[in-house]
Amino acid sequence: MKQLHALLAILTVSALLFSCSKEMSRAGDTPPVSTCDYAPYTTGSSFSYMNVNRSKDTVKYTLTVSGDTTINGNVYKKVTNDSVFTCSNCKDGIYTQVASILTFQGYRADDLQLTYLKDNVPAGTTWSDTISVTNGGITSSGILEFTVTQKDITKTVNGKDYTQVIAVRMDAFALLLNNPVSVGTISTSYYGKGVGLIEADQLQDTTTITAYILKP
């Protein structure tokens, strides 16, 4: 469970695998220039999190940026601890991750590459990634849909106010006979400018940032 909590929290990860990425952005204008401030993953920086489930069980962990790795010609930052190896990339305000596993409501998806955040689009913008999922030994296609639900808000996490926060909701759909069937909302994640992920609210638990150290 600790590995899954960290994976959903940072939404990044391990060796590359595959992706059928179909973006359905509903913003019609050219997006403004982004400096990728919502993933300040400089080498040596660290981010500490606390995960609390509905039974009030608590897991604490720290992820540290250990350097770069290249996947399919793209440079990713390695964000790791003893049990999690994650990869994150940002270009022109589009943040991508490589994830090894995601499970939800009996569905399992392996080997994912996801676009988890866009910082230069307005609230209401939606995009999606098509993935392969299994349930009960049957493999089918699924969709992870991301929606910017709030933009430039202030959010208090563990007693600290974070400004210019972006909230992104991730919903899951199974494709049955080419028709999307809702599986439910996986999480709503909040990203602070200059900090990265500050909170991830999921059905059974919540992950919040407790401390971070940014290296130049």
Give me Rg for the CA atoms of the chain: 16
pTM, rounded to two decimals: 0.80
Total structural domains in the chain? 1
Q: Where does the pLDDT of residue 104 fall: very low under 50, low under 70, confident under 90, or very high at 90 and above?
A: low
Has residue 60 got a pLDDT over 70? Answer: yes
Q: Which two tokens stand for residue 109?
A: 């998806």
Paired residues of 90 in beta bridges: 95
Three-state secondary structure call for residue 93: coil
For residue 120, what pLDDT is reported?
95
In this prediction, residues 120-146 reach a mean pLDDT of 85
On the question of pLDDT at 80 being above 90, the answer is no
Mean pLDDT (the chain) is 80
Phi, psi of 126 (to 5 degrees): -130, 145
**Residue-level pLDDT at 2:** 42
CB 161 within 8 A of CB 51: no
Domain that holds residue 188: 2-213
The CATH number assigned to the domain holding 204 equals 2.40.360
pLDDT reading at 7 higher than 50: no
Can you name the residues that pair with 65 across neighbouring β-strands?
A: 79
Instruction: Kindly tell me if the per-residue pLDDT of 196 is higher than 60.
Output: yes
From the number of C-beta atoms within 10 Å of its C-beta (0-12, 13-18, 19+), residue 40 rates as buried
